[in-house]
Amino acid sequence: MDIVSDDPVELRAAFRAGWSPRSTARLAPGRVQANLVALPAAAALDFAAFCQRNPRACPVLAMGAPGERVLHGVDLATDLPRYRVWRDGAAAEEPIDVAALWRDDLVGFLLGCSYSFEWALGQAGLVLRHWASGSNPPIYRTTIPCVPAGPFAGEVIVSMRPLRPADAIRAVQITSRFPRVHGAPLHLGLPGLIGVDLERRDGGDALLPEADELPVFWACGVTPESALRAAKLPFAITHYPGAMAITDLWNADLAE
């Protein structure tokens, strides 16, 4: 199935009708896409605190009331291309719809996503190398601890984009204006200081800096997934990696 539309309402309708593209990257240009975490109200207060204490990794764009299914135009149970269902801290199923699993005590969180800050970098004329190949930036687990909250804990996970120094400075300036979608880089250069060996990634696709580039690291939306594993909750729902919630929000409106 081809891309049906640039309109988030029509895209969500297509997902609801069963269209399940592998990734939502490059869909609905300019719109905010988000990570989804939905978990029982009994754990939601701790998770809200975890996000508040780790805002670079887990910036909250929206938080629903218990049972509330629609946030920023997205029906959390039907409007994403694919989901992950977590049972006892492990990914158990990967359905394209979770309406039958939705519960009245589930609290949904939409968390900012790197697609938004990459959009901002592109608007400023920067070109990220992984775009050309349609791949994902490499992901690394760092030795930087998250500030724990209740059962949620773990290390910050980062994505890495190689940039020439002047572009790295520009990228700090641009992404600093977008704290709700991971904001400024956490680190750049000297990967060993945060426990990263660039040759040994924990996710994403392979990409190494050239001789004229620095590795630039942003906190990554995979961090909450890692915290979910640590928390070993009996039940939770997230988006399937890359298959994000496409909201009605505009990236441009998130600029501080």
CB-CB contact of 217 with 191 (8 Å)? yes
Q: Please identify, among the stretches 47-55, 65-73, 104-112, 171-179, the one whose residues bind a copy of itself according to the rule CB under 8 A.
A: 171-179
- Minimum Å gap between C-beta 256 and a copy of itself is 12
What is the Cα–Cα distance from 215 to 149, expressed in whole angstroms? 30
- Minimum Å gap between C-beta 101 and a copy of itself is 41
SS3 45: helix
Residue type, 147: V
Output 52 or 176, the one with its CB closest to a copy of itself.
Answer: 176
Report 130-169 residues binding a copy of itself (CB under 8 A): 164-166, 168-169
Neighbours of 252 (CB within 10 A): 14
- Please select the residue that binds a copy of itself; options are 44, 149, 214, 243, rule is CB under 8 A: 214
Output 84 or 180, the one with its CB closest to a copy of itself.
Answer: 180
Output 27 or 188, the one with its CB closest to a copy of itself.
Answer: 188
DSSP H/E element including 215 = strand 214-219
Binding mask 176-195 for a copy of itself (x = CB under 8 A): x-------xxxxxxx--x--
Neighbouring-strand partners of residue 39: 107
- Minimum Å gap between C-beta 55 and a copy of itself is 15
Residue 222: phi, psi to the nearest 5? -80, -20
Output 21 or 179, the one with its CB closest to a copy of itself.
Answer: 179
Tell me which residues touch a copy of itself (CB under 8 A).
Answer: 164-166, 168-169, 172-173, 176, 184-190, 193, 212, 214
